[in-house]
Structure 1
Amino acid sequence: MEQFSFIACMPDRPGALHRVAEIITRQEGNINRIQYDRRIDKHTVFFEVTAASQAYEKIRKELEEIGYFQTFLQPVAFLKFHVYLPNRPGALFDFLNSITSSTANITFLDFDDRGQHPERLVVGLNIENTDMIDALLNHLKSEYRLDILEYDITGEKLDDTVFYLRLAQKLRSFIGSAEDAFLMRFLHDINHIAQELSNLRKDPIEVFESILKVGDCLKRTSGENFYADVQRVRIKNDIELFCFQLPCGGNIYFFDTPSERVMIDTGYGIYYQDVLNMLQHYGLGDLSRLKRIYITHADADHCGAAGCFPVPSYLNRETFLITRETSRAYGSSNQGCILEEVYTKIINLFSRFTPPSNVVLFPEISLSGKKIERRGTFPVIARFQVGDLNFEALAGLGGHMHGEIFYLCPEEGLVFPEDAVINFKSLSPDRTEYNVLADYLMTSVNVDSKLAREERNALLSLISEIDGELAEKGKKCLICCGHGSISVLESGKLVEYANSERYTAGQRGTSLSQKV
């Protein structure tokens, strides 16, 4: 027995769904998942079926014979026009004959002989065979006067009777010329997340719109519209730390030292070329001086460009495994969550996920045997240097993501807590709006919310301890958050540190504000 998924496109009439179920049952198939919502699309039903391979072939063949089995997603065009009909009996009938012969579907007609334009008919058409459009228009122009009002092949103007076709055409703008088989599998995944969230009383149309917003934000903020907010912090006379807040997703941290350059996290893959241009602008574009990348965790916005850079990425085995899995919840108590799995597929696809390929793994922790060295709550799994700065790699508890690592330089007071500690007040409104999308689609960005709270409290306690050790030097621990500004802890609250400037693609960085 194997599991198969397919999309049925059925007529809107009584008994159609029952007919599909009868065919599946007769071939001894078992329906594992079905999703149909007439409010979204009255013709489209999603099925997951367990059956023997030969039985499924018979199911597929029978559904194809009655025209229910959908094997491709033909782009659909929308055409709206005025047509001026002669004032005689049968004029509308003759016009409709022309439309029917073109296989176009009428979405609306508007005519009233007592209205402001008694001779004019407004027509809207969905046309699946776009090759027929020119022939149809040429034929109509030879018989009638026409005014073309709208012509759209992007899916924006299609009505909700073909909702999933419209959605598919919008998705193509984010994922390129994917084959229909791939796109249909992707629609299955998206439909599954909508089904799960509908059960949590979320509007399925809002779910679909949120998914499209993720793709649109990434596409819209790359290339000519790319920007970043940049903090520059002098750690020592000869060492400078750059914090690059990208438009969407996590931060990139870049150390510039006399002997080498080192990155912590990479941002999304879709921003790779934009990041290279930005590094060039700040005099950091010589990648021969970039020696290593340290990854905090496996989310696409933190390691999704690692495979683009020609240097090794340092991470632990759990993070490496997650980058090869289909769910960001892999290894956590929430591992089977369909929301986590489908969101991972969506964001990896939209963001051009290119995980690290040149990998150096940190040592694994053994909980038995010799005593484990700890920094506060967190095991110390490795030590390394960036220039002459001494760092510790600390194993997280797995609240935000299994396998996460925090990086700490105790003597200089630098901590990189990834998404376990974020100064949310420092996020710009557009970044906040984008981050909320992930929270909405997964219900939480943390794979274990209870552990995430414990983790944050333990990190804040460690930061307070380091602040106490640095007090006699007149320094404070710099919290290099996974999102938002580098911050410091003041009376238990995160406060932005250092000045920030805006980098815009093709322009020089301009100072925005002094945030000390």
Structure 2
Amino acid sequence: MTKENFLEEKYQEDLQITNLNNVLKISVYLENKPGTLAEFAKLLKKHEANVIYMIYNEVISENRCEIAFYVKKPEQINSLAHEMNILGYYYNFEYSGADEEKTNKIIGLNLLERFFLNLKKIIGEEEIEKVKEIVMTSKKLSETLVNFNRESGKNLETGQIFNKILVFAISSLSKTKNNFSYKRLPTLPIGDVLLHSFRPPTGGTIYILEGKTETIMIDGTYGIYYEDVKRMLLENHIDPSKIKKIYITHVDADHVGLSGYFEEEYKTEVYLHPSSKGIIENENRAYGTDTPLFQLNHYFTILVNYFTKPKFPKIGKFFDTKPKEFFEAFPVIDYFKLDGTEFKVLESLGGHIPGQVFFLSEELGLFFTGDYLLYIPSLGKEEKSFLNIPKLLMTSTNINSKIFREELEQLKNLAKKIDSQLAKKGKGLLILPGHGDYYPIRLIS
């Protein structure tokens, strides 16, 4: 880069630019392959950026590069940021110096532009204009979106995943009413219970367990789909008013969103972990943890909830949290029954979100695992490509990714152990994850 004069100082005669306090720092996410850093340096040279330093250390991060340069005026930032948005770079700006208020406004507007360009990848212009109008006419919402983008920029790898999931969630706005679609998985008769499974266009998979005397739901997708889901159930000869209990694995909007609507209209009882209360009240899926991503989770929760319209239960019924027994590393904190068949409530170790639980019926061979043990081949093309699923599973929206990976392995081992025991009786264990299709655990090596 020195040979190509990328680091050449062009504006030494301008005292404003050589003031070390008048500096723009960029943290940018770059693909870890030959030539990407040089290409970005060309972009800086094109916009006459007078580089002070570039730092790239693949030991710290194989994708993150930090660059600092002098800026001549705020408009210089605007043109550079605009082209970075068009080219699809994921970045964060930090500025100190003259015209700070004006410069920060420019940076904020470019963060919004980047967000809308990402949204353009999955919804049409007309829908984007509607979202823009919603954002721009609400000062609080636009500020929250800018703050979300700033926080995600401080944690580029994880922030990029949060950003993509948020965009995917917002696309739900364009998939309601006449645009609503769903995939119905084959209904399975298991003992005296019928298992119904539905996958809406975005959000979590909905499971309905229909017994002889009662019907329950496990999780529910985004609240914005409530009327569509009622219509979907009726089309499939399931009366939504018969669903008297809903059991929630965790209170992300794509799992809990429908529950409050059912409670309000049909007096449905909603069961969830007591840690969910703090998450709901504080609009922060990381509430009660000491994660460094606390603020990022807060803005993410506010935005996803705003656009997907969850209705949380007003009178939630909370699981007991005192361990009754242990299944490997997982405490069994409570039980519930469907027509006399027992389900165990297993408590997560805290990797994904506080208050995460799993539901296990050994008798029926059913294991509801929330956002754990997804069967990747069953996910839709849009989910796989836009959410970059392999990377999502490594960083994801997890409160503690290290614990998440460890308990994911422990959960898989537990499922295989139960499956081996059931195999002796000529049965097997079915995994029912919060996204994608159900599948026998034997499919996982």
Q: Report the TM-score, using the length of structure 2 for normalisation.
A: 0.67
* Aligned match of 2:188: 233
* Aligned match of 1:355: 312
Provide the secondary structure at the position in 1 that maps to 2:435: coil
Q: Distance in 2 between matches of 1:407 and 1:259?
A: 20
Distance 1:195 1:490, change over 3 A: closer
* Aligned match of 1:444: 396
Instruction: Give the aligned residue type for 2:254.
Output: D
* Aligned match of 1:257: 211
Distance apart, 1:255 and its partner CA: 0.9
Q: Does 1:467 align with 2:419?
A: yes
* Aligned match of 1:502: none
Instruction: Give the aligned residue type for 2:189.
Output: R
Q: Does the 8 Å contact 2:220/2:259 carry over to 1?
A: yes
* Aligned match of 1:185: 143
1:245 to 194, 199, 217: 199
Distance apart, 1:416 and its partner CA: 0.5
Distance 1:174 1:184, change over 3 A: closer
* Aligned match of 1:296: 249
Q: Could you give the per-residue CA deviations for residues 226-285 of structure 1, whole angstroms, max 9, x where no partner exists?
A: 222222111124x20111122212111101122111001011111111111110111113
Instruction: Give the aligned residue type for 1:468.
Output: S
Q: Does the 8 Å contact 1:438/1:445 carry over to 2?
A: no
* Bigger proportion of residues as helix: 2
1:326 to 255, 270, 283: 283
Q: Distance in 2 between matches of 1:389 and 1:277?
A: 29
Q: Could you give the per-residue CA deviations for residues 357-397 of structure 1, whole angstroms, max 9, x where no partner exists?
A: 2300111337xxxxx41122211111111123211111111
Q: Does the 8 Å contact 2:220/2:256 carry over to 1?
A: yes
- In the alignment, structure 2 segments of 5+ residues that lack a partner are 1-14, 23-73, 84-91, 120-124
Equivalent residue runs for 1:12-411 within 5 Å = 37-38=77-78, 39-40=80-81, 163=113, 173-174=130-131, 177=134, 179-193=137-151, 195-197=153-155, 210=164, 213-214=167-168, 217-231=171-185, 232-237=187-192, 239-287=193-241, 289-310=242-263, 311-334=268-291, 336-365=293-322, 372-411=324-363
Distance 1:184 1:226, change over 3 A: closer
Q: Distance in 2 between matches of 1:196 and 1:68?
A: 18
Distance 1:438 1:272, change over 3 A: farther
Distance apart, 1:286 and its partner CA: 4.0
Provide the secondary structure at the position in 2 that maps to 1:284: coil
Q: Does the 8 Å contact 1:267/1:304 carry over to 2?
A: yes
Distance 1:373 1:262, change over 3 A: same
Distance apart, 1:335 and its partner CA: 5.5
Q: Distance in 1 between matches of 2:111 and 2:252?
A: 36
Distance 1:245 1:390, change over 3 A: same
Instruction: Give the aligned residue type for 1:236.
Output: G
Q: Could you give the per-residue CA deviations for residues 281-332 of structure 1, whole angstroms, max 9, x where no partner exists?
A: 1111341x11111000111111122111121210111122212223222233
* Aligned match of 1:113: none
Instruction: Give the aligned residue type for 2:431.
Output: I
Distance apart, 1:194 and its partner CA: 5.1
- In the alignment, structure 1 segments of 5+ residues that lack a partner are 1-13, 22-35, 49-62, 74-159, 367-371, 494-516
Q: Distance in 1 between matches of 2:240 and 2:158?
A: 51
Q: Does the 8 Å contact 1:339/1:441 carry over to 2?
A: no
- Alignment: residue pair count: 352
Provide the secondary structure at the position in 1 that maps to 2:322: coil
Q: Could you give the per-residue CA deviations for residues 318-356 of structure 1, whole angstroms, max 9, x where no partner exists?
A: 122212223222233426443323322222222112222
Q: Distance in 1 between matches of 2:131 and 2:217?
A: 28
Q: Does the 8 Å contact 1:297/1:401 carry over to 2?
A: yes
Q: Could you give the per-residue CA deviations for residues 160-211 of structure 1, whole angstroms, max 9, x where no partner exists?
A: 899599889986623864643223323432441353256x699x9x997x47
Which one has the largest radius of gyration? Answer: 1
Q: Distance in 1 between matches of 2:116 and 2:325?
A: 56
Distance apart, 1:433 and its partner CA: 3.1
Q: CA RMSD in A?
A: 4.1
Provide the secondary structure at the position in 2 that maps to 1:356: coil
Instruction: Give the aligned residue type for 1:352.
Output: K
* Bigger proportion of residues as strand: 1
Distance 1:69 1:217, change over 3 A: closer
* Aligned match of 2:441: 489
Q: Distance in 1 between matches of 2:368 and 2:223?
A: 21
Instruction: Give the aligned residue type for 1:40.
Output: A
Q: Does the 8 Å contact 1:196/1:339 carry over to 2?
A: no
Instruction: Give the aligned residue type for 2:304.
Output: I
Instruction: Compare 456-465 and 306-315 and name the one that shifted more.
Output: 456-465
Q: Could you give the per-residue CA deviations for residues 51-76 of structure 1, whole angstroms, max 9, x where no partner exists?
A: xxxxxxxxxxxx99xx9998xx9xxx
Distance 1:361 1:213, change over 3 A: closer
Distance 1:196 1:377, change over 3 A: same
Q: Distance in 2 between matches of 1:373 and 1:212?
A: 38
Q: Distance in 2 between matches of 1:485 and 1:219?
A: 23
Instruction: Compare 399-408 and 174-183 and name the one that shifted more.
Output: 174-183
Distance 1:327 1:438, change over 3 A: farther
* Aligned match of 1:433: 385
Q: Distance in 2 between matches of 1:431 and 1:277?
A: 24
